[in-house]
Amino acid sequence: QTPPQSAASILPGCTPVRVLGQGSFGTVVLVRERATGALFAAKIMSKALLVEERQVANVVTERRVLREAGASSHPFVVKCYAGFQTPHAVVLVLEYLPGGDMYDLLKQHGCLEESQARFYIAEILAGLQELHRHRFVYRDLELENILIDQRGHIRLTDFGLSGKVSSSAWHDRTVFD
Reduce the DSSP state of residue 45 to 3 states and report it.
Answer: strand
Which residues are marked as active site? 140
CB 26 within 8 A of CB 46: yes
Burial of 66 (0-12, 13-18, 19+ CB in 10 A): buried
Helix residue ranges per DSSP H, 5-72: 6-10, 47-52, 56-68
Q: Which residues pair with 33 in a beta bridge?
A: 14
